[in-house]
Chain A
Amino acid sequence: MRDILNTPETRDRQMTIPQTLSRRLSGRGAVGIVFALLLALAGFQEAARASATDGADAVRSFYDTLLATMQSGPALGAKGRYSRLEPAIRQTFDLPYMTRMVVGPRWSSLSPEQQGQLTAAFSRFVTATYAVNFDKYSGERLQVIGSKSSDFGDIVESQIVQPSGTPVDINYLLRQNGGAWKISDIYLAGTISELTVRRSEFTAILRDRGPDALAGELNRKADSMLAAGTAGS
């Protein structure tokens, strides 16, 4: 993942605060960041509820699945965790929307095939990141602490409380899509949009090498993370 972040093109974009934030929090890869904190979570979980009735429920339901996966993480292995998380992420995250947003204005000029490839690659990349970063449980608590509606959707506030007791704020933007509440953005430290960070990273690749290269890069990244079992290749 670092290779994506550290491409010269990426560094040409000015505000790369979020990467930095993630480093400070985890010392590991960019998004792994927060998730690394979740590594050892206490065990309240249960199966994911079939369909969330509001934004907060959707996040709680995803956290449940995430916790369960972490608890049996070492046994499952990276690929096992990937298979376990993939349906939950697909159900909880509005991945087509998120892909469209990280690609940016060029999206509408891409062919449906290219859009499909990019969506699949980005979904794979996100899922792999979760599978690699949330690999085991060490006593973290994942809690939803509130929700507020805004012009853009519901903003759900959550905290990941580290074993040391230090809370890290993670907020989510949830929008209703096809009758279900789905996560459409993640705010690190409660303020930094995951989608803008990704867009900043991807813009240069997209501009210089095209959408196919971006899809290839994302898939290659996911593969290497899963193979190594770590986000920080």
Chain B
Amino acid sequence: MRALFARLADASRRGAALIVAVSLILAFIGGWFVATNVSIDTDIEKLISPDLPWRLQEAAYDKAFPQNSDLLVAVIDAATPDQAEDAAQALATRLAADKSLFRTVRRPDGGTFFKRNGLLFLPKAEVQSVADQLIAAQPLIGSLAADPSLRGLFGALDLVAQGLDYGQVKEKDLDGPFMGVTAAVEAALNGRHQPMSWQVMLTGRAPDPLELRRFVLIQPVLDYSALEPGAPAEAAVRDAAATLGLTPANGIRLRLTGPVALSDAQFSTLSQGAGLSTVLSLGLLLVWLILALRSLRLTLAILVTLIVGLVACASFAVGVVGAFNPISVAFAVLFVGIAIDFGIQFSVRYREERTRSDDLAVALREAASGIGGPLAIAAGATAVGFFSFIPTDYTGVSQLGLIAGVGMLIALALNLTLLPALLTLLRPRSEGREVGFPRMAPVDRFMHTRRAPVIAAAAILAIASIAVLTGLRFDFNPLNLQNPREEAVATLYDLMASPRTTPNTIEILAPSLQAATTLGAKLEKLPEVAQVATAASYVPDDQPQKMAILQDAAQLIGPTLDPPQQQPAPSNSEVLDAIKHCAQDLKDAAKSGDPPAVTRLAAALDAVLARGAGVLPTLNANLTAGLAARLGDLRLSLQPRAVTVDTLPPDIKDDWITADGRARVQVFPRGDARDNAVLRRFAAAVQKIAPDATGTPVTIQKSADTVVRAFAIAGLIAIVAIAILLSVVLRRARDVALVLIPLLLAGLLTLATGVLAGLPLNFANVIALPLLLGIGVAFDIYFVMRWRAGHADLLQSSTARAVLFSALTTGTAFGSLALSSYPGTADMGKLLILALFYTVLCTFFILPALLGPLPVPPRKAP
């Protein structure tokens, strides 16, 4: 075996020029191949096997209601219900026109159906009070319908003022409407856009918070070959909003959220700041390499080998596996971390040999024969560890496992051929000093003389860790991985705050509407459930009585909403004239008391008159914008039509009943839907009654189960496979155990510290575990093999130096991840650093004690 590696080194040295040339040419070809063929499938739906039962249920539901998948949700908040409604309608109309970017555009909370029948959804008493209010406001409504302008408005207010003067109108009744008008006038005087709500003015009903928020559901055309598949659509929505004046300056806030925006935000934060941290970590990486190797030539050789290997590995991935997924792209980090370790191991060993014999050829041969075996075993074990993920249902990691496993073999091959060839050509200078850490001698001695206490301490730590691990949990909420300040995330949390808009609803597909309502009634009784919606929820109760109330109001108001003649738009002077009369009559009215609402409006109107026509456009926007639309809405809402499930508009009906008659049941959670415990209880309770339930609370937990299971299975396979591999190669059970024990201890300590530090496992940082496995196995193998080769003073050896600097370089790469603004990546970085720390700790301070002094008589040193 050792001879084989020695011959390989000799061959590489002799054919150095050829090897380097061929490698570089292949690397260029590979680089070109990767650059022209690389693609990433950013569809996170594909990360988990589609054949799992819960994925099939999810797919069945998505197929039944395809309009609800891949949504981009525009959330529009405005100061008044009028603005929110008009903004949402304008945006929806505009977006629907662009079929190239938007497949569907819907308004779940708007449109003719709700305008016509919206009042029927109020409780009966409230319908009556709205009707009474509208009837009382008929004079104003009629006047405005005939003259929907500032002239009409101030003409009507003038009449009110006269009513005040005559004592027919009480000032306190006018506080509300007058204050509304006054605020809008004063805002216009300050040049501010602050429209008054005609809906509030006419119905006298304070707006429900939900009326200030409107939704537009968009299914954008997605480009999964892009890092942010929905980015063009999102940009187009924002553009449209800007063009339509749906801006904060106009009191309207548009935010984008929904699955598409969330996933885009995730990828954009991932790439955000990646440039700087990469440069920083690369710089630091170079520093470690130079400190470890004390030679620019060696460093260059390692880097070239690394880059060629990376290209080869990427070529394999692109050529064989196909498109990357968001997890498998992490192969690069894994590859760099471990391949650089192989390079350092070889180079440091080479330096050690060079101090013994200042002949490049001899040093290379000796290094290869000394470290070749350990490297081969480490690469084999690491590859086996990665391959263990292939059979799991976590497709994302399964592909990563395949790519990274092959990458290990590539790295091994290159470090045993290309690296010696490069060193031959670069001719590094001779080494003068001891390569190991002679100052570690006392520690080595301590490890040998105090084996029992060190091992006992390790055992205690292991037991303590196992005790702590009962608190280990998996944070299944993917939202917790995202930056809460991202718009898409913050908006979603905002929606979750209201039980009526939370996206954390469970969806059930019932065989019929009847079955759906029966199931709904059963679910509604659960304490974990706030409410249940089905198609039947869109059929208001007490319809005959409510319609009678509205018909009565319609008889009184309706005819004046459609006046035979509408006044032509007024000229500025007509408006100013109306304002002047109104102001005068208000002042006359104010004489008979001291009504602040009246005097304040009069003063504001005087200010308008002083400013003249210049202020009229803003005044017009603040007071009459949306007036015509509201009168139109009012006309519709006074003429509701009997609502039955069958007469629901297709837009709504299709959301709830499939063409073949199956019906959707939507279940809302009670309590704070942002709390994982609430979601867990909610999902469990609903699933007990409806096992085929799907929806976010179900799927995120099932995803977590799948991922945890995948890692448990893979971990088990990895340990067993590595044990078998080591047994075959090392042929000594004790040595196999000695490789695995520090590894397992490092794993326990990492997870236990995670628990104590409140760093739960999640979808992102769990990927750190395979890396821990790879690096840990490699480090332990180097030490065990060195010991078997007759080196008991491990901490003083060049192997210790190589492991330390290898750990530092890998740690640097991970350190940069920990600083990421994306919490998922940062969590992964933190866990990786923790894992690396414990790996080094166990390798340096536990393993030597376990190994102990060499058996007597010592073997011949290599």
Contacts and interface: CB of A to CB of B under 8 A. Distances in A.
Interface residues of B, number: 39
B556 A195 contact: yes
A157 B563 CA distance: 10
Interface in A1-39: 5-6, 10-21, 23-24
Interface of B is mostly: helix
A187 interface: yes
Closest 7 CB pairs of A and B: A191-B142, A20-B163, A17-B139, A196-B138, A14-B173, A17-B159, A20-B162
8 contacts: A5-B168, A15-B139, A15-B140, A16-B160, A19-B163, A20-B169, A150-B562, A190-B146
A155 interface: yes
Contacts of B243: none
A155 B566 CA distance: 14
Interface string B148-161: 00000000100110
Contacts of B555: 101, 152, 184-185
Contact of A192 (B128, B143, B163, B167): B143
B689 to A, nearest CB: 43
Contact of B552 (A101, A190, A200): A101
A16 B169 contact: yes
A6 B168 contact: yes
A205 B549 CA distance: 20
Contacts of B142: 187, 191-193
A84 interface: no
A113 interface: no
B143 A24 contact: no
Contacts of A200: 135-136
Contact of B159 (A11, A24, A150, A157): A24
Interface string A193-231: 101110110010000000000000000000000000000
A15 B565 contact: no
Given A16-B168, A105-B552, A192-B138, A155 B559 contact: yes
Contacts of A171: 564
A146 B564 CA distance: 9
Given A17-B160, A152-B559, A191-B142, A23 B137 contact: no
A76 interface: no
B169 A196 contact: no
B560 interface: yes
B576 interface: no
A14 B156 CA distance: 13
Contacts of B163: 16-17, 19-20
A172 B555 CA distance: 13
Max chain B Cβ within 10 angstroms of own Cβ: one of A12, A14, A23, A152: A14
Contacts of B554: 152
Contacts of A80: none
A167 to B, nearest CB: 13
B430 to A, nearest CB: 101
A105 B173 contact: no
A173 interface: yes
Given A12-B170, A14-B173, A24-B159, A193 B136 contact: no
Contacts of A232: none
Max chain A Cβ within 10 angstroms of own Cβ: one of B138, B145, B169: B138
Interface of B: 128, 132, 135-140, 142-143, 145-146, 156, 159-160, 162-163, 166-170, 173-174, 177, 549, 552, 554-560, 562-565, 639
B564 A148 contact: yes
Given A13-B136, A101-B555, A19 B168 contact: yes
B137 A15 contact: yes
A10 B166 CA distance: 13
A145 to B, nearest CB: 9
Nearest to B134: A196
A166 to B, nearest CB: 16
A187 B146 CA distance: 12
A24 B556 contact: no
A104 interface: yes
A187 B143 CA distance: 10
Contact of A15 (B136, B560, B562): B136
A17 B156 contact: yes
Contacts of B140: 15, 17
A14 B564 contact: no
A151 B558 contact: yes
A77 B560 CA distance: 36
B168 A14 contact: no
A10 B143 CA distance: 21
A199 B556 contact: yes
A95 to B, nearest CB: 15
B559 A150 contact: yes
Nearest to B128: A105
Given A151-B639, A152-B555, A171-B564, A191 B146 contact: yes
Max chain A Cβ within 10 angstroms of own Cβ: one of B552, B557, B564: B564
A168 interface: no
A180 interface: no
A155 B558 CA distance: 11
Contacts of A13: 136, 173
Contact of B564 (A5, A153, A157): A157
Contacts of A12: 170, 173
A189 interface: yes
Contacts of B563: 155, 190-191
Given A5-B168, A17-B156, A196-B139, A152 B558 contact: yes
Contacts of B557: 193, 196
A20 B159 contact: yes
A53 to B, nearest CB: 20
Contacts of A104: 552
B515 to A, nearest CB: 39
B145 A191 contact: yes
A115 to B, nearest CB: 16
B559 A192 contact: no
A6 to B, nearest CB: 7
B168 A20 contact: yes
A233 to B, nearest CB: 16
B173 A21 contact: no
Given A12-B170, A14-B137, A23 B162 contact: yes
Given A5-B168, A16-B168, A20-B163, A173 B137 contact: no
B559 A185 contact: yes
Interface string A127-146: 00000000000000000001
Interface in A36-74: none
Nearest to A171: B564
Contact of A20 (B132, B160, B564): B160
A199 B564 contact: no
Contact of B556 (A11, A15, A185, A203): A185
B213 to A, nearest CB: 29
